[in-house]
Amino acid sequence: MEVYLDNSATTMCYPEVGELVYHIMCRDYGNPSAMYRKGMEAERYIKEAKETISKLLKVNAKEIIFTSGGTESDNQALIGCARANRRNGNHLITSCVEHPAILNTMHYLEEEEGFRVTYLPVDECGRIRLDALKEALCPETILVSVMYVNNEIGTVQPVAEAARIVKQYKQSILFHTDAVQGFGKYKIYPKRLGVDMLSASGHKIHGPKGAGFLYVDSRVKIKPIIFGGGQQKDMRSGTENVPGIAGLALASKMIYQDLELKTEHMRELKTHFIDCISQIGNVKVHGLTDEGSAPHIVSAGFAGVRSEVLLHTLEDRGICVSAGSACASNHPAISGVLQAIGTPREYLDSTLRFSLSEFTTKEEIDYTLETLYNCIPMLRKYTRR
Active site residues: 327
* 306 interacts with another protein by CB under 8 A: yes
Q: Which of 311, 340, 365, 376 binds another protein (CB under 8 A)?
A: 311
Q: Which of 310, 356, 365, 376 binds another protein (CB under 8 A)?
A: 310
* 313 interacts with another protein by CB under 8 A: yes
**CA–CA separation, 163 and 104 (whole Å):** 22
In sequence order, the 6+-apart residues with CB closer than 8 A to the CB of 58 are 189, 191, 192
Shortest reach from residue 59's CB to another protein, in Å: 42
* 348 interacts with another protein by CB under 8 A: no
* 345 interacts with another protein by CB under 8 A: no
> Looking at beta carbons only, is 134 or 312 nearer to another protein?
312
Shortest reach from residue 307's CB to another protein, in Å: 9
Q: Which stretch binds another protein (CB under 8 A): 26-34, 171-179, 271-279, 326-334?
A: 326-334
Shortest reach from residue 6's CB to another protein, in Å: 15
Residue 225 in contact with residue 79, Cβ under 8 Å? yes
- For residue 276, how many other CB atoms are within 10 A of its CB? 17
Size of the site for another protein (CB under 8 A): 16
Binding mask 250-289 for another protein (x = CB under 8 A): ----------------------------------------
H/E stretch holding 102: helix 100-113
Please provide the distance, in angstroms rounded to a whole number, between the alpha carbons at the two ends of the chain.
Answer: 34
Q: Which of 312, 334, 344, 370 binds another protein (CB under 8 A)?
A: 312
Q: Which phi-psi region, left, alpha or beta, contains residue 173 (left: φ > 0; alpha: ψ -120 to 50)?
A: beta
Q: Which of 132, 254, 309, 320 binds another protein (CB under 8 A)?
A: 309
Q: Which stretch binds another protein (CB under 8 A): 7-15, 156-164, 307-315, 352-360?
A: 307-315
> Looking at beta carbons only, is 86 or 306 nearer to another protein?
306
Shortest reach from residue 375's CB to another protein, in Å: 9
Backbone angles phi, psi at 283, to 5 degrees: -120, 135
Residue 93 in contact with residue 141, Cβ under 8 Å? yes
**CA–CA separation, 133 and 166 (whole Å):** 8
Q: Which of 37, 219, 345, 385 binds another protein (CB under 8 A)?
A: 385
Task: Report DSSP state, residue 356.
Answer: -
**CA–CA separation, 187 and 145 (whole Å):** 19
DSSP assignment of 116-161:
EEEEE-B-TTS-B-HHHHHHH--TTEEEEE--SB-TTT-BBP-HHH
* 383 interacts with another protein by CB under 8 A: yes
* 113 interacts with another protein by CB under 8 A: no
Binding site for another protein (CB under 8 A): 306, 308-313, 315-316, 330-332, 382-385
